[in-house]
Structure 1
């Protein structure tokens, strides 16, 4: 995904129909584009002044204090080691930055513009001469080349994501050319545009204690960056505070006007939601992102809300719903038969959970690309069918004959039918319920499953599921560990089932190799947490990556969605098409918010007049 202007590190978007608006045109020279689009023409022209989802004159100042669940142990945003502190993505800028209101559109940030040939065999970025790191040193082509080289070496995510880049070279005082390993891959210029640029002189230097810095290690030393914020103070595992960079080099660029308005960003960590929410209600935190439907329905009746000092809003967002799910570790022998995995899905009673735990607020996820034109529906036809026929002998026959759907338990007796179907699947896969009421295979081994989580929140959801599994003679359990141990076990694939989340864009591409590609399956720390190794899926990913137009991209993605679903790699969860926010009334918001996110830290601001009234009400 093109780097959104957010608190997180770079995530993948992709490019199929690459449209761009010219900024510079000279005789006999290629057009240098100020923006790239995956699916059409960028909304903003080359001479735009600011985005239409900001208040260009928003005042700077104030603080926003927020809750983070868990803990952290490193300030290195790039290594796959350790648990990263929240907000580190704000310290480092990338070559291009996306608009959260325009899916799949990137505008020049460190790079003023980009050129590429018709066959997409390379991309050349022209860097802004004024671009600076926080120590005042200019951002050079050498820094860009160093960034690509080092990130590829230290983190398998970057290694896979930028694997099609064969060479990066300086071709001018402010120009970097990236050469690709093939032609026709229209996403590659945009993928390179996502590159976070780090200072070569800093990472090749020594820290205050004289040690050589290591980009692949955990560290509590605040990194030197080039973004809108820098680290101010750190209490390891408890709190991190950022301060706005007053002389931030990009603050007056159209791509940044009206954004990142708070002087201070305060992230406070809690190991439990309950005390954190109490701190919010009493005014020690300013904003609360609610991810529990039950809490949203029942816990917002406190005095400050009744008095109007706290606002409660469900803000609609328009984006592909992520596939959140119970994800199986296919490296475990008990999960290698798809019939077993399908049986687990039949035994998850979503409707019961939605009613008892979620107040019927959620919708079950039924696609890896839910809520988009990429979602497979009905039976395959047209170009999608043609694509599926190229891997026909390698995929389940049901792909062609039956629309995949989650089990539904609306009527009394429905779940009993699911249980009966699940037992038939277990039996067919060689698992039988013996006289001791244990589900065992032919070797006499009992079916065992441990759900690994890093938050108590999910226990109330998993425990009823565990009870259903135990009825079937499955030895099921839940293990809660801290964030650091969870990440270590996830990276080392030391789990049976985890709660995973696969966020997608409307233009999937290279990142699909990280999610489902065979090459990533055995790489510790890759996003292929489940360990999928499927040659048909590899071929479908290639069809996506090398799609010649939007129609082929959509068809290939639908085909991939359908094959993933029919392999039963996971037990899908649910989604909610809103962001649930509660916040003390000290903020100003633009007249129009970005369509894909409420973006509090990016586009909100501290309203001093509102704050006088509200802070008096909360005793501050």
Structure 2
């Protein structure tokens, strides 16, 4: 059964309460003192309440106690060894993902750790709770009741892969490097909220937060900064804002072994990794090697998997999933095909409108264009009926807006006055249109689209094309990545055909991966297929993704969405003082984002589709927020040897 975030949160609270009761009710005087030292509240100078803890959550309710032995979902006895090999379709030209130039793989950040730990590549860790963070490079952190600052006490034993210590000077350097040379949208947001960082000693660092702002996501923000070696940057003169292949040493469990940017990237386990025995890492980082193989298109990638050139595949193509996993290795059991539960809301993926495009500023035009997408026919005819249609930015969670607002959500929207349109207050949240599954060209939707375009002032000329009062043709450019799967390409070709039937001069422009990335960053498109990030809690990251302040250049906001209504709701969510207020604000945010109509939602899969050579094993229960095949799965050496002996693997 799929576990919703609300149910997971409730379980986490129960577990946290149980742990608290055990600690406070079952310990003697010495135990009580120890508990206070790690996760309690103490007085500083007799005035300020200071929380000292092994982790952080905004509401203070951590699931794992200070003496946790490992995360609940891992196998603490998982064997170490073997290799996990995956594929990447497209082109890469950099190992620095922090620059606007170049395109880098996720493996380029695998080596770096932060004060508060994450899964490799920035995933959830722990993966069974939401919005909780636990010390990795730090031993503990302290912060006052008003969260106006935070101090991290670092682990002196932490080392970069070159053997040099990870110090507070490296953390301060990394923080400032992101501000000086990182993405502008990130730097602008952080500078306003974090005005000062102080290195108290080699292993103690303090961050100060600006007055008069929400304290949401600030502690986890500074706690999540990747630790880079100041020494390496000083010696090499490298810059964070330039594309490059050489990288600084990291403190993580893996280090770069081989980079051939056109063929593969290989990471190897650091034999001297300092953090092997930390409870945070028990049962994790189990493979000796991680390898990614590069392919020019999805067909070549799938054939390579069948041949055993790589060993794990997270499948995203419904046609391949439904029809192509019948090759001999699947039939004889050498390759496992499996669906696994996914507890995270799906990424809000779809056809994104560039709201800065003059021809798309009128919502009626966007609504008309959207009617060219026929989910029902596409799903049945091209995708084997395997998908559901996404409607929400918090799909299938308790935060998903439904009927007309009520309760706390209604109170919040009423407090925003004229910013909230009347129909948004009184009607259910915007839902995707429905279409005829029997035919691609739904005449009813086509007629609706024609009326919308007429009302928007785009009349049909004698040549069948729509023009405005100035005689200008309604032209749209749909930028599309040529490395996309044949199924996705077919879906979008059919969409463009339907839009063209409306009298719109639309072009599906296929470009290679590097051009796509460059033009996306420059906002050189009217439409493109892209994704936003789903949300289950509030934080200042919402402002980068959906806020107005950096809309015209933020890489996280490809629609150039700049809505005073959305801004106001995000700010209200940041000021929420209870979980109930926060959840009401996020439901209102979902409602407002759907009302603004900057994306045509497409489909989603509520499960993970995976295929892999039968040498990998995983915990019996997959945690809700991370599939974890690169994190806490492991290799069975006997099964791997049998596959090689049989010739199934190269």
- TM-score, length basis structure 1: 0.92
1:166-565 alignment, distance < 5 Å: 166-182=195-211, 184-206=214-236, 212-403=237-428, 404-410=430-436, 415-454=442-481, 455-457=483-485, 458-523=488-553, 525-565=554-594
Residue of structure 2 in register with 1:11 after alignment: none
Residue of structure 1 in register with 2:115 after alignment: 95
The answer as to whether partners of 2:371 and 2:446 remain within 8 angstroms in 1 is yes
Are the structure 2 counterparts of residues 186 and 328 from structure 1 closer, same or farther at C-alpha, using a change threshold of 3 Å? closer
Residues 351-393 of structure 1: CA deviation (Å, up to 9, x unaligned): 1111111111111111111121211110011221122223342
Residue of structure 2 in register with 1:590 after alignment: 619
For residues 161 and 255 of structure 2, what CA distance do their matches in structure 1 show?
Answer: 8
User: Per-residue deviation at 1:186?
Assistant: 3.7
Residue of structure 2 in register with 1:159 after alignment: 187
The answer as to whether partners of 2:216 and 2:538 remain within 8 angstroms in 1 is no
The answer as to whether partners of 1:54 and 1:592 remain within 8 angstroms in 2 is no
Residue of structure 2 in register with 1:568 after alignment: 597
Q: Higher mean Cα deviation, 153-162 or 448-457?
A: 153-162
The answer as to whether partners of 1:104 and 1:505 remain within 8 angstroms in 2 is no
The structure whose RCO (Cα within 8 Å, separation 6+) is larger is 1
Are the structure 2 counterparts of residues 555 and 27 from structure 1 closer, same or farther at C-alpha, using a change threshold of 3 Å? closer
The answer as to whether partners of 2:477 and 2:507 remain within 8 angstroms in 1 is yes
The answer as to whether partners of 1:327 and 1:530 remain within 8 angstroms in 2 is yes
User: Per-residue deviation at 1:238?
Assistant: 2.2
Q: Higher mean Cα deviation, 158-167 or 452-461?
A: 158-167
Describe the SS at the equivalent of 2:106: coil
Residues 546-598 of structure 1: CA deviation (Å, up to 9, x unaligned): 22121111111111221221121111111111111000011122233222222
The answer as to whether partners of 2:376 and 2:435 remain within 8 angstroms in 1 is yes
Describe the SS at the equivalent of 1:520: coil
The answer as to whether partners of 1:126 and 1:174 remain within 8 angstroms in 2 is yes
Describe the SS at the equivalent of 1:101: coil
For residues 437 and 228 of structure 2, what CA distance do their matches in structure 1 show?
Answer: 57
For residues 321 and 235 of structure 1, what CA distance do their matches in structure 2 show?
Answer: 32
**Count of residue pairs the alignment pairs up:** 597
User: Per-residue deviation at 1:158?
Assistant: 2.9
Residue of structure 2 in register with 1:12 after alignment: none
For residues 48 and 232 of structure 1, what CA distance do their matches in structure 2 show?
Answer: 33
Residues 178-201 of structure 1: CA deviation (Å, up to 9, x unaligned): 111135524321222211111111
Q: Higher mean Cα deviation, 553-562 or 19-28?
A: 19-28
The answer as to whether partners of 2:477 and 2:508 remain within 8 angstroms in 1 is yes
Residues 283-315 of structure 1: CA deviation (Å, up to 9, x unaligned): 111011110112111001000000001000111
Describe the SS at the equivalent of 2:473: coil
The answer as to whether partners of 2:51 and 2:144 remain within 8 angstroms in 1 is no
Residues 219-263 of structure 1: CA deviation (Å, up to 9, x unaligned): 111331111111111112321111111111111100011111111
Residues 463-482 of structure 1: CA deviation (Å, up to 9, x unaligned): 01111111111112212222
Unaligned runs of 5+ in 2: 1-15, 21-34, 45-49, 118-124
Residue of structure 2 in register with 1:71 after alignment: 91
Unaligned runs of 5+ in 1: 1-17, 207-211
The answer as to whether partners of 1:52 and 1:592 remain within 8 angstroms in 2 is no
The answer as to whether partners of 2:424 and 2:595 remain within 8 angstroms in 1 is yes
Describe the SS at the equivalent of 2:151: strand
For residues 619 and 113 of structure 1, what CA distance do their matches in structure 2 show?
Answer: 45
User: Per-residue deviation at 1:336?
Assistant: 0.4
Describe the SS at the equivalent of 2:454: helix
For residues 561 and 533 of structure 1, what CA distance do their matches in structure 2 show?
Answer: 15
For residues 532 and 84 of structure 1, what CA distance do their matches in structure 2 show?
Answer: 26
The answer as to whether partners of 2:51 and 2:145 remain within 8 angstroms in 1 is no
1:121-132 alignment, distance < 5 Å: 121-132=148-159
For residues 552 and 24 of structure 1, what CA distance do their matches in structure 2 show?
Answer: 26
Residue of structure 1 in register with 2:141 after alignment: 114
Residues 582-618 of structure 1: CA deviation (Å, up to 9, x unaligned): 0001112223322222211111112111112222221
Residue of structure 2 in register with 1:34 after alignment: 54
The answer as to whether partners of 2:376 and 2:437 remain within 8 angstroms in 1 is no
For residues 304 and 372 of structure 1, what CA distance do their matches in structure 2 show?
Answer: 38
User: Per-residue deviation at 1:115?
Assistant: 1.3
Describe the SS at the equivalent of 1:368: coil
For residues 38 and 343 of structure 1, what CA distance do their matches in structure 2 show?
Answer: 42
The answer as to whether partners of 1:156 and 1:526 remain within 8 angstroms in 2 is no
The answer as to whether partners of 2:309 and 2:649 remain within 8 angstroms in 1 is no
For residues 97 and 189 of structure 2, what CA distance do their matches in structure 1 show?
Answer: 16
User: Per-residue deviation at 1:26?
Assistant: 8.6
Answering whether residue 72 of structure 2 is matched by residue 52 of structure 1, we say: yes
The answer as to whether partners of 1:239 and 1:269 remain within 8 angstroms in 2 is yes
For residues 161 and 305 of structure 1, what CA distance do their matches in structure 2 show?
Answer: 49
For residues 411 and 100 of structure 1, what CA distance do their matches in structure 2 show?
Answer: 38
Q: Higher mean Cα deviation, 160-169 or 351-360?
A: 160-169
The answer as to whether partners of 2:401 and 2:587 remain within 8 angstroms in 1 is yes
For residues 593 and 276 of structure 1, what CA distance do their matches in structure 2 show?
Answer: 26
For residues 428 and 571 of structure 1, what CA distance do their matches in structure 2 show?
Answer: 20
